[in-house]
Amino acid sequence: MKVNEIFYSLQGEGLYTGTPAVFVRFSGCNTRCAFCDTQHQHGTEMTEENVVDTIMKYPARHVVITGGEPTLQLTASFVRLLHGQGFFVQIETNGSVPLPDGCDIDWITCSPKDLPIRIQRIDELKVLFDVRNADNESRIRQYAGIKAKEYRLQPVDASLSLHGKELEDQNRINLETTINYILQNPKWKLSLQTHKIINVR
């Protein structure tokens, strides 16, 4: 496994916001999104056992496997090792790659970047909302037809392309427009990147 980083923090997004969790970030991705806010390209080769040993150093029993795109490296044996140590296993995926056979994930958060979705199950669908995208609302209507337990819209953070007052204005517009859309389409719930708001990793 090529691991970009392992760190301990609070889950900042979605249903488990505020939950202490160990984050395992795998290297590599199969998409190149302009708004990606993680440096996941580099990493260290580790065995599954090494990764679990590192995770065990932290007190939480909630693991978030992320990337990049974690399904490119995820294995059923790794998930079994985590379950054997009593961990609740969550992944954050773009949904473009199916889970390996026998990969029994407890909670799947899917933030799709394109259709079709190939992952077998979605517990939490998290769609990015950006008013600068001309087909933003039609894209969201497409995603609304995907089966999931939770449906969340997350305003895009414009900090990768803008600065200063322009950044503040764009983020405010994105947030306000996302909220208004949700109020008109109550199937969706608001997701915020609270780790950025409270300034934790």
DSSP string, 55-80: HTTSS--EEEEESS-GGGT--HHHHH
Q: Contact at 8 Å (CB) between 116 and 137?
A: no
Q: Which of 7, 31, 33, 42 is catalytic?
A: 33
Its sign, for the CA torsion 19, 41, 86, 58, is negative
Q: Contact at 8 Å (CB) between 35 and 130?
A: yes
Q: Which of 7, 31, 37, 176 is catalytic?
A: 37
Q: Which of 38, 47, 104, 169 is catalytic?
A: 38
Q: Which of 36, 137, 150, 177 is catalytic?
A: 36
Our answer to whether residue 110 is catalytic in this structure is no
Radius of gyration of the chain (CA): 17
Q: Which of 13, 23, 40, 78 is catalytic?
A: 23
Our answer to whether residue 42 is catalytic in this structure is no
Q: Which of 13, 69, 71, 92 is catalytic?
A: 92
Residue (of 125, 62, 120) closest to 92 by Cα position: 125
Q: Cα separation of 198 and 196, whole Å?
A: 6
Return the structure tokens found at 62.
């909630």
Q: Which of 29, 69, 71, 110 is catalytic?
A: 29
Our answer to whether residue 62 is catalytic in this structure is no
Our answer to whether residue 37 is catalytic in this structure is yes
Backbone phi, then psi, for 117, in 5-degree steps? Answer: -95, 130
Our answer to whether residue 92 is catalytic in this structure is yes
Q: Which of 17, 48, 194, 195 is catalytic?
A: 195
Q: Cα separation of 144 and 112, whole Å?
A: 12
Q: Cα separation of 19 and 177, whole Å?
A: 27
Our answer to whether residue 166 is catalytic in this structure is no
Residues labelled as active-site residues: 23, 29, 33, 36-38, 92, 195
